[in-house]
Amino acid sequence: MDISVHHALIIIDVQNDFCPGGALAVPGGDAVVAPINQMQQAFSHIILTQDWHPVGHSSFASSHDNKSPYDMVEMPYGPQVLWPDHCVQGSDGAAFHKDLETVRADLILRKGTNREIDSYSAFFENDRQTATGLEGYLRERGIISLRLVGLATDFCVRYSAVDAAKLGFDVTVDLSACRAIDLDGSLAEALEDMRRHNVSILGA
C-alpha cells in the first residue's frame, strides 16, 4: 500500500476523447477507469491531468494546410505529430470519463492550453522548456514518489514519467491501468525510453 504523505498518484488524461467513441480514441482506453478508481484508495495525494486545447490548436491537423491526422510536421520546437481535433476546452470530449472518480483529487492540472505548443508531459510543454508548475507543486508538498497511470502510455504517460524521473522523482508506471495509441512502434519506444530513465514499470 502507498498510503504515504510522500507518494502521489498521477492520473493522466482519462478523458472522453481518449476513450472508445472519442476523437482520438485509444484502444481499450476506458478499461483503465476501474483499476484507477481502485488504486486511488491507496493514495493520500491524487493529481489528475486534463489535456485542454484551445480551438485551432497547433497540434491539430485541421490547423495546417494539406495535412492529415498522424502526419508529422516541423514546429519551431521540433517534430510534432498532428492529431485529430481533440480535448477542446469545455467540450464533452475534454471531460473526464463519467465513471472516473475525481472527488478525492487535490489538483487538476490542465495542459496543452498554449495554442502554439503541444504538451504531452505534465511537467514541461513540448518545447521542453515551458514548465507547467507541477514540479514546484509536488516539491512544496514534500512528494518524492510518483505512480503514473492513464492515457496514453506512449505519449502523455511516457513524457510525464521520463520528465519526472529526470527531475529526480522516484517514478513507477503501472501498465495495468494504462493503454497505448501505438503509432509506428511508439509503445515499444516508450517502454525503452522509460526503462532507460529508471522508471519502474509494473504490469508489463
Nearer to Zn ion, 41 or 92 (CB): 92
Task: Spell out, one character per residue from 89 to 128, where the chain touches Zn ion: x when CB under 5 A holds, - when not.
Answer: -----------------------x----------------
Does 13 participate in catalysis according to the annotation?
Answer: yes
Task: Spell out, one character per residue from 29 to 68, where the chain touches Zn ion: x when CB under 5 A holds, - when not.
Answer: ----------------------x-----------------
Reported residue count of the chain is 204
Give the integer Cα–Cα distance in Å for 112 and 90: 13
Give the integer Cα–Cα distance in Å for 19 and 41: 23
> Which residues lie below 8 Å from residue 88, measured CB to CB, with a gap of 6+?
53, 54, 55, 57, 94
Nearest to 110 by CA among 81, 134, 135, 141: 134
DSSP H helical ranges for the chain? 33-40, 134-140, 158-166, 186-196
151 binds, among ligand VGL, Zn ion, none (CB under 5 to 8 A by kind): ligand VGL
Q: 12 and 56 in contact (C-beta within 8 Å)?
A: no
Nearer to Zn ion, 51 or 174 (CB): 51
- Told to check if 152 binds ligand VGL by CB under 6 A, we report yes
Annotated catalytic residue within 19, 87, 156, 178 = 156
171 binds, among Zn ion, ligand VGL, none (CB under 5 to 8 A by kind): none
Does 156 participate in catalysis according to the annotation?
Answer: yes
Q: What is the DSSP letter of 181?
A: -
Q: Which residues bind ligand VGL (CB under 6 A)?
A: 13, 18, 51, 83, 120, 151-152, 155-156
